[in-house]
Chains A and B, each alone.
Chain A
Amino acid sequence: MTYTFRTALFCSSAILAASLACAASADSHLRFPIGEGPFDWAEFQAFADSHDFSGQTLDIAGAGTGRDADLLREIFAYFAEATGAEVKYSGSDSYEQDIVIAVQAGTPPDVALFPQPGLAADLAKQGHLVPLADGARQWYIDNFAAGESWADLASPTGPDGKPHVYGIFNAVDVKSLVWYSPEAFDENGYDIPESMEELKTLTDTMVDDGLTPFCLGLGAGAGTGWPATDWVEDFMLRTQPPEVYDQWVSNEIPFTDPRVVGAIEEYGYFARNDDYVDGGSSAAATIDFRDSPDGLFEFPPKCMMHRQASFIPTFFPDGIVIGEDADFFYFPAYESKDLGRPVLGSGGLATIMQDKPIAHAFLAFLQTSLPHALTAAQGKTLTPHTGVSLDAYANDTGRALAEILLSATTFRFDGSDLMPGEIGTDAFWNAMVEYTTGSLTADEAAATIQARWDSIR
């Protein structure tokens, strides 16, 4: 990390002077040296031999900023190394707006990393994305666990009214996780809850012990509110069969359906109880989601648990060792409901926006195992790529995460990410903020979202 990070710093300051020299020096500072480690270097070499884009530049845009962006750049460096091209990545906190503006302006990046397949589907339908070559569907089936369903997620309807594979999932996260400090659990004699009933009991025990069970932060700039939508989705999967979840995501059953309102209220059971949430539920709306886990690591701790996806360790304070200072458990299901072990996940979809050979080559690069193994090795995100050995994961925590992904009886993709952009990246978020602060009831929040959905039909 530090090594390449320094390079990145050096690059940005030296860019004025000599960007070429810099690109060259970055190559020799690849984080995982070529030829070492549990990576398929032969495949990489074959890719490098068949692709040469020396002197060309590939523009990539995505939502990751700061440390996230640095990790992405680490992976892109291997594409640069293989092809001789220069890769420029730009991240933005308001990516959802920026990419739409860029499309409108006719200056989209070569490759776009969509944190939401829903937004990608909007753009695909308008004809702004370039479908992949025909073999892509088969590639998913051959290489991804549950490849069919991943291929379906990556295949929105094109302008011709037919579905095409438009992209490759390059970063997969498991969302049904609760992070905690093992030491704090030990000191207080708490056990990992195995069911939602136990989690609720544990929550009350913590309150009785004078502790605050949860840290919750919904703040995310223009994306404020999204962490709450994950809770609701997790509860949809824990109170209803997956089929109902699918119908909800496609709006075959409306938001105002009692089953959906029930899931919102399940979230409210935790989030709207001032005893359960650090600072009270209204504070949750202004606390930044990136800062919210910090409370786990203070003395005395501000909270004991934090429900958040597998990427959150990126935002833990410096010096926190995963597996020692922080660990996670599976956000459990109701024992009484017999819905198995549902897992909610999400993934970034890399798509081509400019029909250039170098963009197609980059997507071909993503169809090798290396980038998927690298993202696992960074300890940042997971991959359903079956060609990546568990050894590639940075630590036991990563392997345990991958096992959660594999042991799921039901895997469902983040519903808000699949809804149309105006719902999944706007109305749903805003309504959940208002529900969390108590200015809307669950029924009212659901009605607001449904009204917006009706208006875009």
Chain B
Amino acid sequence: MNPLIQGLATIILGVGGCIGYFYASNLLLDKVLYPAKGPNIASNIRRANIIRPWLFIFPALLVLTVYLAYPVVGSAYRSLFNRSGDEFIALGNYVALLESPEFRRSFLNNALWAIFVPVMSVTAGLIAAQLSDTLKWGNIAKSLIFMPMAISFVGASLIWKFVYAVDSDIGLINAVLAGLFGAGPIDVIQIPFWNNFFLMFILVWIQTGFAMVILSAALRGIPEETIEAAILDGANPFQIFFRIKMPQIFSTIVVVWTTITVASLKIFDIVYAMTGGNFGTEILPSYMMSFMFRDDGRATSVALVIMIIVLPVMISNIRQAQKELR
């Protein structure tokens, strides 16, 4: 079948199915099971209202359970078994990981990504937001800085190959080096340790726009009076920014920070396309790929380590959500 027609059919089926489910289940509840009439009207309405939230939330819970919760539990279990899955080896896979220098390197690199990318993206985003809000052409600047958000990681990697290429007739960095300083070509992708930062910068380039847009909106949400009061008190622009504005948008910064941290841990495409994990740029997701489907025990244990890195972020997020509820 033509994929376009198939796609259209599925959109209609899927969307129709969703709407149908919600509509029909409500109808069933209200008209058949606990109709809001007759002798038991009060208890019927009460019962219906106890059940209804579960009708609403059921599909979401189902996919969350199947696609995220079950894999987490299942992986944790699987990671305690050997390569072929028939022998229980307790923490054997984790011990093997700790002993592997490749794993240690990937772990450190991943930790670097999880720290450097959010720090740089949020800082650059904040600067861009602050600057663009005071300039006439700020909106154009914002659009241009946001643009990389719409570019795939593979596309972004291609774009950056034109910057990082060794050949000074292709790579911009080497062209600038050769043109301004007459320096010989350097392969930034192979500089030990620092090559990681050149790869990370690609993600910073993508995520800064996201940080900028949200932070700029938050900055605009700050009441004018507080700033005017500070100006009257003789505060300079830097004091205003750090003492007045920063505290007010702190919760937004945390949200942006979390989102970008999560994104930087999920990243796989940039390393895959730029270096294939060579030259000491391996990160856990790409390290995991070399085990996937060959040694599931090892692969799942790597995945769980990725989760452990995210654990602090996860806990703080849950705390935040609990606080909001109260």
So, do A and B actually touch in the complex, CB under 8 Å? yes
Which residues, 273 to 287 on B, are CB-close (under 8 Å) to A?
276-280
Contact between B294 and A422, CB atoms less than 8 A apart: yes
Which residues of chain B are near A456, meaning CB under 8 Å?
83, 295
Please judge, given known A-B contacts A285-B190, A437-B190, whether A104 and B278 are in contact too, CB under 8 Å: no
Nearest chain B CB to A418's CB is how many angstroms away?
A: 17
Contact between A286 and B295, CB atoms less than 8 A apart: no
Which residues of chain B are near A16, meaning CB under 8 Å?
2, 4
Contact between A100 and B293, CB atoms less than 8 A apart: yes
Please judge, given known A-B contacts A437-B190, A455-B96, whether A285 and B294 are in contact too, CB under 8 Å: no
Contact between A286 and B294, CB atoms less than 8 A apart: no
User: Complex formed: what's the CA distance from A286 to B190 in Å?
Assistant: 8
User: Complex formed: what's the CA distance from A100 to B277 in Å?
Assistant: 19
A27 contacts the other chain (CB 8 A):
no
Chain B count of residues within 8 A CB distance of the other chain = 21
User: Complex formed: what's the CA distance from A100 to B291 in Å?
Assistant: 11
A34 contacts the other chain (CB 8 A):
no
In the complex, what residue of chain A is closest to B190 when comparing beta carbons?
Answer: A282
Nearest chain A CB to B163's CB is how many angstroms away?
A: 14
Nearest chain B CB to A17's CB is how many angstroms away?
A: 10
Which residues of chain A are near B279, meaning CB under 8 Å?
285, 433, 437, 439
* Main DSSP-derived SS at the B contact region: loop
Which of B189, B277, B292 sits near A286, CB closer than 8 Å? Answer: B189
Choose the segment among A218-226, A233-241, A340-348 that binds chain B (4+ C-beta atoms closer than 8 Å).
A218-226
Q: Mask for B235-265, Cβ within 8 A of A = 1, else 0?
A: 0000000000000000000000000000000
Which residues of chain A are near B223, meaning CB under 8 Å?
none
User: Complex formed: what's the CA distance from A437 to B166 in Å?
Assistant: 15
Which residues of chain A are near B166, meaning CB under 8 Å?
279, 283, 286
In the complex, what residue of chain B is closest to A282 when comparing beta carbons?
Answer: B190
B289 contacts the other chain (CB 8 A):
yes
Nearest chain A CB to B189's CB is how many angstroms away?
A: 6
Please judge, given known A-B contacts A426-B290, A455-B96, whether A222 and B187 are in contact too, CB under 8 Å: no
Contact between A224 and B187, CB atoms less than 8 A apart: no
User: Complex formed: what's the CA distance from A100 to B2 in Å?
Assistant: 27
Please judge, given known A-B contacts A16-B2, A455-B96, whether A439 and B280 are in contact too, CB under 8 Å: yes
Contact between A100 and B187, CB atoms less than 8 A apart: no
Which of A103, A282, A422, A433 sits near B187, CB closer than 8 Å? Answer: A282
Contact between A222 and B276, CB atoms less than 8 A apart: yes
User: Complex formed: what's the CA distance from A456 to B294 in Å?
Assistant: 10
A389 contacts the other chain (CB 8 A):
no
A101 contacts the other chain (CB 8 A):
yes
User: Complex formed: what's the CA distance from A437 to B277 in Å?
Assistant: 14
Contact between B293 and A221, CB atoms less than 8 A apart: no
Q: Mask for A80-108, Cβ within 8 A of B = 1, else 0?
A: 00000000000000000100110110000
Contact between B278 and A285, CB atoms less than 8 A apart: yes
Which residues, 244 to 291 on A, are CB-close (under 8 Å) to B?
279, 282-283, 285-286
Which residues of chain A are near B4, meaning CB under 8 Å?
16
Which residues, 408 to 438 on A, are CB-close (under 8 Å) to B?
421-422, 426, 430, 433-434, 437
In the complex, what residue of chain B is closest to A457 when comparing beta carbons?
Answer: B83
Please judge, given known A-B contacts A283-B187, A439-B192, A456-B83, whether A225 and B293 are in contact too, CB under 8 Å: no
Nearest chain A CB to B220's CB is how many angstroms away?
A: 45
Nearest chain A CB to B83's CB is how many angstroms away?
A: 7
Nearest chain B CB to A386's CB is how many angstroms away?
A: 38
B272 contacts the other chain (CB 8 A):
yes
Which of A103, A122, A422, A433 sits near B278, CB closer than 8 Å? Answer: A433
Nearest chain A CB to B293's CB is how many angstroms away?
A: 4
Most buried by A among B4, B192, B276, B289: B276
Nearest chain A CB to B309's CB is how many angstroms away?
A: 23
In the complex, what residue of chain B is closest to A223 when comparing beta carbons?
Answer: B276
Q: Mask for A26-68, Cβ within 8 A of B = 1, else 0?
A: 0000000000000000000000000000000000000000000
Contact between A430 and B277, CB atoms less than 8 A apart: yes
Nearest chain B CB to A440's CB is how many angstroms away?
A: 11
Contact between A434 and B293, CB atoms less than 8 A apart: no
Which residues of chain A are near B289, meaning CB under 8 Å?
97
Residues of A near any B CB (own CB < 8 A): 16, 97, 100-101, 103-104, 122, 221-222, 224-225, 279, 282-283, 285-286, 421-422, 426, 430, 433-434, 437, 439, 455-456
Q: List 23 A-B contacts (CB under 8 A).
A: A16-B4, A97-B289, A100-B294, A103-B293, A104-B293, A122-B294, A221-B276, A222-B276, A225-B278, A279-B166, A283-B166, A283-B187, A285-B278, A285-B279, A286-B189, A421-B294, A422-B290, A430-B277, A437-B279, A439-B192, A439-B280, A456-B83, A456-B295
For the complex of A and B, the 9 pairs showing the least CB-CB separation, nearest first, are A100-B293, A224-B276, A433-B278, A104-B293, A426-B290, A222-B276, A282-B190, A422-B294, A224-B278
